[in-house]
Amino acid sequence: MSERTADESTARVVPFPAAAAQIAFDRDELRILFNLYGRRVAEGEWRDYALDFRRDKAVFSIYRRSSEMPLYRVEKDPKLARRQGAYAVIAAGGLVMKRGHDLARVLSVLEGPLRAV
């Protein structure tokens, strides 16, 4: 009987594949999104939201009722950051309402008209 050394072992080390980076909204982006969302909830127009973080984009969906399709989707797609802008507001039918590099400016399309009190 011969003894095996560590060099002679039959075990192989297989590297674990690195997980793909997941796209997400950062803290400042979430603050902007939730400020708008809170105002519209207070007005009684929106009732629910969903956050979806995928490998290629992050999506903030806005619902009138949770059982319906989203009224609007706010998407962050870093692949488009240099061309059209990373942020987009998309209506329920798939129409891109506004796209750009600045989230606050893109969300201005969802701001309601000012009312006199």
Contacts of 97 (CB under 8 A, 6+ apart): 72, 89, 90, 91, 109, 110
Give per-residue pLDDT as tens, 56-86.
999 999 998 877 789 999 999 999 888 888 9
pTM: predicted TM-score of the whole model, two decimal places: 0.76
Statement: residue 100 has pLDDT above 60? yes
Q: What residue spans define the domains of the chain?
A: 27-110
Per-residue CA distances from 108 to 7, 11, 34, 93, 114 (Å): 65, 59, 14, 19, 12
